[in-house]
Amino acid sequence: MAGVSEIEQMLAEALSAIKSASSIKDLDDIRIQHLSRKGRITSVLKSLKDLPLEKRKEIGAAANKARVTLEQSLKDGLERIRAARPTIAVDPTLPGIRHRVGAIHPLTSVMNRLCEGFIRMGFGVAKGPDLETDYYNFEALNFPPDHPARDMQDTFYVEGGKLLRTHTTPVQVRILEMQKPPVKVIMPGKTYRNETVSARAHCIFHQVDGFLVDEGVTMADLKGALFAFCRYFFGEDVKVKFRTSFFPFTEPSAELDITCFLCKGKGCALCKYSGWLEILGCGMIDPFVLSNVGLDSEKYTGYAFGIGVERIAMLKYGITDIRLFFENDIRFIRQFK
């Protein structure tokens, strides 16, 4: 058992070591040697219970005094070492470090603006499942099993009779099954077709479809809505023309062209020197589709339209290869900050 003189000797050695310590690690080693759970001072304090009362008071007082002195000396030593560290000069005139700013993907940007144009006209927004049934994707939209129009949409089929939706129009059927007119909704989302990937086509693409069903809806309402949208999205001076077309779920059907925003209708490589750019398909909802969801096609009419987001983005930004949208090349995306 260490006596008072041994404790004083122990303290003197520790203080000397602290004085000559040159790093925080040196101080930590001294602390562990003397004040840790198995340290020298701690061991003396733990052994006091085995001593007579008088001896316990004498040695306990010396050990506690050594512990307090040692703790203060370690604290002073730590401040001395920290103060001796070289300071780093800061030049406030130097420019700051620029943080990299992210960019919204061009498809997301275009889709958001497309949706915003119709939301401003009072359209709601709805979404549906990517994994669809044949009924919602085809049959309810006037695509019977032997309909030749099914060949227009080469489909990905999966187990259980399901398929990856080839357009977002199935959401229209789901909404009309649950909600009675008037209904005015757009349906943005991802779609899939089994096509060979090339600069002009991809097996994944995005659409913004929309429709309005109510009493007394006419083709004039469709033209007015789409003309207002084109002026919002492409500018006040845009010109619009409708061309007859065919879609199984609309009758009559049309495609909408706008004046080329690059050459202003004069003719260029973008519009193939026609002066016009095709941007969407549209038409009046076929009465068969309304009957399929339990609506009286004599009472209700409606219009529908569908816009390909990739096509609009490629036209807007002059992108010639659709694959760039899906390759996640940060150099490509950073151009759209």
Report the number of distinct structural domains present in the chain: 2
Phi, psi at 280, each rounded to 5°:
-165, 165
CA distance linking residue 208 with residue 186, whole number of Å: 7
Kindly state the helix (H) or strand (E) to which residue 336 belongs, with its residue range.
none
> Does residue 273 contact residue 250 with C-beta atoms inside 8 Å?
no
Residue 141 sits in the same domain as residue 217: yes
* Predicted confidence (pLDDT) per residue in 248-297, tens digit: 899 999 999 988 877 777 877 767 778 888 889 999 999 999 999 999 99
Residue 65 sits in the same domain as residue 207: no
What integer pLDDT is reported at residue 110 of this predicted model? 93
What integer pLDDT is reported at residue 296 of this predicted model? 94
Residue 95 lies in a domain: no
Residue 69 lies in a domain: yes
Residue 258 sits in the same domain as residue 293: yes
Residue 101 lies in a domain: no
Which CATH number belongs to the domain containing residue 284 in this structure? 3.30.930.10
Residue 180 lies in a domain: yes
* Predicted confidence (pLDDT) per residue in 188-223, tens digit: 999 999 888 888 888 999 999 999 999 999 999 999
User: Could you say which of 84, 119, 136 is where a domain stops?
Assistant: 84
Residue 318 sits in the same domain as residue 183: yes
Residue 102 lies in a domain: no
Residue 294 sits in the same domain as residue 179: yes
Residue 130 sits in the same domain as residue 170: yes
> What value does the mean pLDDT of the chain take?
86
pTM: predicted TM-score of the whole model, two decimal places: 0.67
Range of the domain at 138: 107-336
> Does residue 268 contact residue 262 with C-beta atoms inside 8 Å?
yes
What is the chain's length?
337
Residue 200 sits in the same domain as residue 294: yes
Percentage of the chain surpassing pLDDT 70? Answer: 96
What integer pLDDT is reported at residue 1 of this predicted model? 53
Distances (CA, A) of 104 to 107, 141, 188, 204: 8, 34, 17, 19
